[in-house]
A = this chain, B = another copy of it.
Amino acid sequence: MNETGRPQDFPLSNPRADRVRDVAKLAGRPARLKRGQFLAEGPQAVREALKLHQRRLAAGAPGVVTEVFASESCLDRFPEFEELAEGTNARLATDEVLAAMADTVNPQGIVAVCRFVDAALADVLDAGPRLLAVLCQVRDPGNAGTVLRAADSAGADAVVFTASSVDIYNPKAVRSTAGSLFHLPVVLAADPAELATACKAQGIGILAADGHGHLNLDVLQDENARRRLTGAGPDSVYDLAKPTAWFFGNEAQGLSEEELELADHRVAVPVYGAAESLNLGTAATVCLYASARSQRRAAATAGQEQAV
């Protein structure tokens, strides 16, 4: 870095250079698995990757970002990158080089090579999670990323992908998370039965999102609210405020019979219109926000009672 914090050397300008090709190969799963690396593209994803990188370094843990490539004009638009990228292997690159590295047509002037960020299931459970999103055999990278982002918005403690789900390090999936991949722990290739056993052992309820479920989520929410407000105590069927792992199934087939049987309850998000079914992202959003709302409401009530 020079005095202005910018990488001093001249920009990488040859889109056919080996270094550029090596980065571009991360669009494919074999290269990702071999190197344990993936690509974050665009200012939002790279910013969140670098923030996680700096948090980890500050905590004495290994970093996340191994290389950053940015155009001059990108650094002009987003001067904060110069500080964020400090201590990483940052390099200027021409737009042509960035386009050759990225999976998107327009990476908006910046890409970062990142180490895999997934966490171990045991570590996630040791932290005492209250809300987990479990994606079973989800196939579409856009859906996987959208649900991860929705889980982040709802304040979930982690997102768990079971084996045979889409690779979350796929460039399209990474883009769809809009940076959320770097916000909360993600567990990959989990076994649903093992996960269920571990959840039950520590008092985490399991709800399966299932269009044919016997419980209607809105009825459950209303009943929860009624009991809370009338002082009737926690719901006798299922208290949405308790620690919960939500299981969501494959886009086309939903959850398998084996996956459904792991759940305490099968819960349907009501469809009030003529839609045949809910989009996975829509269903997951409604379910996760219902739990988040109940948990926060219960925590607020407990806080008030303590204050009294």
Q: Is the CB of B149 within 8 A of A279?
A: yes
Q: CB within 8 Å of B: which of A142-163?
A: 142, 146, 149-156
Chain B contacts for A230, CB-based, 8 A: 229
Q: CB within 8 Å of B: which of A250-308?
A: 269, 271-279, 281-282, 285-286, 289, 292-293, 296-297
**Is residue A180 contacting chain B, with contact meaning CB distance below 8 A?**
yes
Chain A interface helix/strand/loop/mixed: helix
Q: Is the CB of B146 within 8 A of A272?
A: no
Q: Is the CB of A218 within 8 A of B293?
A: yes
- What residue of chain B has the Cβ atom nearest to residue A150's Cβ? B282
Chain B contacts for A222, CB-based, 8 A: 225, 293, 297
Q: Is the CB of B153 within 8 A of A278?
A: yes
Residue in B179, B180, B286, B296 whose CB lies within 8 Å of A272: B296
Q: Is the CB of B146 within 8 A of A282?
A: yes
| Chain B proximity of A109: nearest CB distance (Å) | 16
**Is residue A68 contacting chain B, with contact meaning CB distance below 8 A?**
no
Q: Is the CB of A153 within 8 A of B218?
A: no
Q: Is the CB of A293 within 8 A of B152?
A: no
| Chain B proximity of A211: nearest CB distance (Å) | 11
Chain B contacts for A136, CB-based, 8 A: none
Q: Is the CB of A154 within 8 A of B272?
A: yes
**Is residue A184 contacting chain B, with contact meaning CB distance below 8 A?**
yes
Residue in B146, B229, B275 whose CB lies within 8 Å of A183: B275
Determine the distance from Cα of A296 to Cα of B271 in the docked complex, in whole angstroms. 12
- What residue of chain B has the Cβ atom nearest to residue A52's Cβ? B274
Determine the distance from Cα of A276 to Cα of B45 in the docked complex, in whole angstroms. 11
| Chain B proximity of A218: nearest CB distance (Å) | 5
**Is residue A12 contacting chain B, with contact meaning CB distance below 8 A?**
no
Q: Is the CB of B296 within 8 A of A218?
A: yes
Q: Is the CB of B273 within 8 A of A146?
A: no
Determine the distance from Cα of A70 to Cα of B123 in the docked complex, in whole angstroms. 52
- What residue of chain B has the Cβ atom nearest to residue A292's Cβ? B272
Determine the distance from Cα of A278 to Cα of B177 in the docked complex, in whole angstroms. 11
Given contacts A146-B279, A151-B273, A155-B273, 4 further A-B contacts (CB under 8 A): A150-B278, A152-B273, A153-B269, A179-B276
